[in-house]
Amino acid sequence: MKVLKRGEFNFRRGYIVYPRLVVVVGVKLEDKINFMSVVWNSPLSFDPPLYGVSIAPKRYTHDMLLTAMEFSISFFPYEMAEVVEKFGTVSGREVDKVKEFGIELLEPAALDVPIPAGAYAVLECEYFDHKLYGDHTWIVGEIQAIHYDERVTGSRYNMPVLDFDRARPVLYGGSGEYITVDPRSIRKLR
């Protein structure tokens, strides 16, 4: 197995850690709404229910989110990979993404956050904490409400779960490449 030591690699191109699930973070600040694709994201805690996203301070969404103190996290089906790509490659400083991409907004349930139509699940998050790690800020939200599309989800332990036979998640492979799961490859081991 080949080894690259620090100084021999550029982690900006560290696509060996991919593919990764892509989420779209939505923020509303006064009359401005912005969406941004985020590849570095993760659930963090069951109690309280916490979810984290990693956003560079230079991104327009970063300061909007830390000022608004609430945000949405949307999970889109693979068929919408082009929209997810646009959310991540076009800056909200220059473009009103809702108007430019024809995004329909749904009503939030708990907070004043943008809920985009087309996602199979959306988390409404209230700011919980943040910390700068290197060139990215890890921003943690406490989940206040979960929206989900019953047409593509099932239930496990009284919680919605994506049914891979009805919808597939968007996974990012790096360098603008997107993939998804093949439901035939799923192995149920328990």
Query: What CATH number did the domain enclosing 32 receive?
Result: 2.30.110.10
* Structural domain harbouring 119: 17-185
| Structural domains in the chain (count) | 1
Residue 10 resides in a domain: no
pLDDT band at 15 (very low <50, low <70, confident <90, very high): confident
Q: What is the pLDDT of residues 35-81, one digit of tens each?
A: 999 999 999 999 999 999 999 999 999 999 999 999 999 999 999 99
The verdict on residue 113 lying in a domain is yes
Question: What does the pLDDT look like over 165-186, one tens digit per residue?
Answer: 999 999 999 999 999 999 999 8
DSSP result, 63-132: HHHHHH-EEEEEE-BGGGHHHHHHHHHS-TTT--HHHHTT--EEPPSSSS--EETT-SEEEEEEEEEEEE
Q: Which residue is it, tokens 């690259």?
A: 4
Asked if residues 126 and 108 have their Cβ atoms less than 8 Å apart, the reply is no
Which of 19, 21, 110, 14 has its CA nearest to residue 70?
Answer: 110
Confidence of residue 188 (pLDDT cuts 50, 70, 90): confident
Q: Which of 74, 2, 75, 1 is nearest to 33 (CA)?
A: 74
Would 61 be classed as within a structural domain? Answer: yes
86 within a domain of the structure (yes/no)? yes
pTM score, whole prediction: 0.95
d(Cα 12, Cα 171) in Å, to the nearest integer?
A: 18
For residue 2, tell me if it sits in a domain.
Answer: no
b/e per residue 112-135 (b: at least 16 CB within 10 A): ebbbbebbbbbbbbebbebeeeee
Check if the beta carbon of residue 8 is closer than 8 Å to that of residue 2. no
In a domain, residue 117? The reply is yes
Residue keyed to tokens 């989940």 = 143
The DSSP 8-state label assigned to residue 48 in this structure reads T
Helices (H) and strands (E) in the chain, counts: 3, 14
Task: Quick: pLDDT tens for 102-153.
Answer: 999 999 999 999 999 999 999 999 999 999 999 999 999 999 999 999 999 9
